[in-house]
Amino acid sequence: MNDEKKINIRRLKTARDMGKFMADYYYELDEASKSGKQKIAWCTSVGPAEILRGMGFLTYFPETHSAMLGTTRMAVDLIPKANAMGYSPEICSYLTADIGAFVEGVSPLSRAFKGIEGVPKPDVLVFNTNQCRDVQDWFAWYGEKFNVPVVGVHTYRGVKDVTPSHITSIARQMENIVEPLEEVAGRKLDMDEFKHAVGLSRECSDLWEKCLAAAAAKPSPLSFFDATTLMGPAVVGRGTQRAIDSYNLLLEELEERVAEGIGTIDDEKHRIYWDGMPVWGRLSMHSKLFAALNANVIASTYCSSWIFSALDANDPFNSMARAYTELFIVRSDEYKEQYIKDKLDLFNIDGVVYHDAKTCPNNSNCRYGMPQRLEDETHIPSLTINGDLNDLRLLSDEQTKTNVEAFIEQLEENK
Ligand code: SF4
């Protein structure tokens, strides 16, 4: 790579609106936490947020806090604190960084948002193990710490076809968490509010899907690295009108870019698909590394995780059960391979990068021969990067750079 080369990455104007959205979100939580005027539920990132909205809870998602610990690179010093308490360096570094931050009494929220001292205090913690078991252990730790209830949905993993029996089981579990949640909320689940939240979530999901699909244009107006932060409202704001408003603005800007042929990088020669988690502490470095090689990482399995197309306000429990089970992370390799093949076609991809995140086997899909099988079928080359979402001690920047450069050279030769 020529280090002297000028790298021009075009940021989206609406990124600022997304930043404001997140600031408002955290200030609202902080105010509720301090005043005690509104109950707060902590929820996993693909947990049953709509039920919580139907009971008037404000909803906080600790994974976004952990991602901030990653982007600020605070995580590296905090993970060992949780390791010392018996949480292995091999398990989710979101969990270890977050618990480490709590015991140390630090938070990136207080650096980013004046007046916020730390995470909001939960009244209840709500998980869904659809993504992994780690979230259950993570929430159990906080449940004990704050002496508040922890309720959850135990779901299936490695699902090939989502069947009626999957849906029935998960929908019943979702119904069963209502009563303990009502006790904490001090009020009943309002079916109209609940259905409304499901409808808003669906609208948010549809808009987010359209934003991500805009990357199919050549050149792509959106990169994976931008999408990892633009997805904030889809994670923390689904079920609210504000998230919908944000994505309407983003979609408008993306459509403008497509109409005018404006790409996120200059001279897009190689279109890359990213599978797995981002390396939060290296977003900027990785985005520049690829851009300098005229490679645009345009789509990912990760950012599509907040598309819930099955949500239906007229059938809230069953449709939530389906939406939260149809997710990529929940599915079998057979399903995942077909899913990725479809995306390679849709986005006209030249190469695939798999991130083997050491502490998240759940979001690493390269460990059981998938890259080789997909390469054999599609003849699209792939590269596996060893790293981690938050623990920067588990990656080598030099190795990543060398491997990416060699990979793009290979794509160049193939053209
Ligand atoms: S899916 Fe991975 S990164 Fe997310 S909470 Fe589970 S182990 Fe951690």
**Per-residue pLDDT tens digits of the chain, which is 415 residues long:** 445 578 899 999 999 999 999 999 999 999 999 999 999 999 999 999 999 999 999 999 999 999 999 999 999 999 999 999 999 999 999 999 999 999 999 999 999 999 999 999 999 999 999 999 999 999 999 999 999 999 999 999 999 999 999 999 999 999 999 999 999 999 999 999 999 999 999 999 999 999 999 999 999 999 999 999 999 999 999 999 999 999 999 999 999 999 999 999 999 999 999 999 999 999 999 999 999 999 999 999 999 999 999 999 999 999 999 999 999 999 999 999 999 999 999 999 999 999 999 999 999 999 999 999 999 999 999 999 999 999 999 999 999 999 999 999 999 998 7
Distance CA 74, CA 79 (A): 9
User: Pocket residues for ligand 1 (CB within 6 Å)?
Assistant: 63, 92, 94, 131-132, 134-135, 360, 362-363, 389
Distance CA 381, CA 35 (A): 55
H helical segments located in 324-396: 333-346, 370-378
Provide the pLDDT for residue 110.
Answer: 97
Question: What Å distances lie between residue 256 and 100, 155, 180, 211, 228, CA to CA?
Answer: 43, 41, 47, 12, 21
H helical segments located in 237-307: 241-260, 283-292
Provide the pLDDT for residue 4.
Answer: 58
Q: Hey, which residues does 382 pair with through a beta bridge?
A: 352
Polymer length of the chain: 415
Among 61, 91, 95, 305, residue to substitute to test ligand 1 (most atoms within 8 Å of Cβ): 95
269 CA distance to ligand 1 middle (Å): 33
Distance CA 180, CA 150 (A): 9
Give the largest Cα separation in the chain, rounded: 65
Closest ligand 1 atom to residue 360 Cα is 2
16 CA distance to ligand 1 middle (Å): 27
Question: What Å distances lie between residue 310 and 10, 202, 213, 323, CA to CA?
Answer: 34, 8, 18, 5
Closest ligand 1 atom to residue 132 Cα is 6
Closest ligand 1 atom to residue 95 Cα is 8
Provide the pLDDT for residue 6.
Answer: 80
94 CA distance to ligand 1 middle (Å): 7
131 CA distance to ligand 1 middle (Å): 7
Q: Residue 173 corresponds to which tokens in the numbers above?
A: 């579990």
Provide the pLDDT for residue 18.
Answer: 94
- Tell me which DSSP letter residue 120 carries: P
Q: Residue 100 corresponds to which tokens in the numbers above?
A: 């480490």
Closest ligand 1 atom to residue 277 Cα is 3
Closest ligand 1 atom to residue 359 Cα is 7
92 CA distance to ligand 1 middle (Å): 6
257 CA distance to ligand 1 middle (Å): 34
Residue of minimum CA distance from atom 2 in ligand 1: 360
388 CA distance to ligand 1 middle (Å): 11
64 CA distance to ligand 1 middle (Å): 11
Q: How do the domains of the chain map onto residue ranges? A: 4-414
Among 44, 88, 91, 94, residue to substitute to test ligand 1 (most atoms within 8 Å of Cβ): 94
Distance CA 258, CA 280 (A): 28
Closest ligand 1 atom to residue 133 Cα is 6
β-sheet with 150-153: strand ranges across: 58-60, 40-43, 124-128, 150-153
Q: Which residue has the tokens 């299936």?
A: 156
β-sheet with 295-300: strand ranges across: 295-300, 270-275, 351-357, 382-387
Distance CA 195, CA 314 (A): 7
360 CA distance to ligand 1 middle (Å): 6
Tell me the HSE value of 242 on the side-chain side, using a 13 A CA sphere.
Answer: 14
Task: Please report, as a single letter, which amino acid is at residue 224.
Answer: F
The three-point CA angle 282-273-260 to 5° equals 95
Buried b (16+ CB within 10 A) or exposed e, 193-223: ebbbbbbbbbbbbbbbbbbbbbbbbebbbbb
333 CA distance to ligand 1 middle (Å): 18
Q: Residue 307 corresponds to which tokens in the numbers above?
A: 């598309």
E strands, 19-71, are: 40-43, 58-60
Determine phi and psi for 43, rounding to 5 degrees: -140, 145
Query: Do the strands 150-153 and 270-275 form a parallel or antiparallel pair, or are they unpaired?
Result: unpaired
Task: Please report, as a single letter, which amino acid is at residue 176.
Answer: N
Closest ligand 1 atom to residue 94 Cα is 8
Q: Residue 241, by phi and psi: left (phi above 0), alpha (psi -120 to 50) or beta? A: alpha
Provide the pLDDT for residue 7.
Answer: 87
Provide the pLDDT for residue 3.
Answer: 52
Closest ligand 1 atom to residue 135 Cα is 5
List of residues 6+ apart from 190 with CB closer than 8 A = 54, 55, 56
Residue of minimum CA distance from atom 6 in ligand 1: 132
Distance CA 36, CA 228 (A): 32
Answer positive or negative: Cα dihedral of 367, 235, 42, 326.
negative
Distance CA 393, CA 76 (A): 7
Answer positive or negative: Cα dihedral of 130, 131, 132, 138.
negative
Among 362, 367, 389, 394, residue to substitute to test ligand 1 (most atoms within 8 Å of Cβ): 362
383 CA distance to ligand 1 middle (Å): 22
Confirm if 360 and 245 have CB atoms less than 8 A apart: no
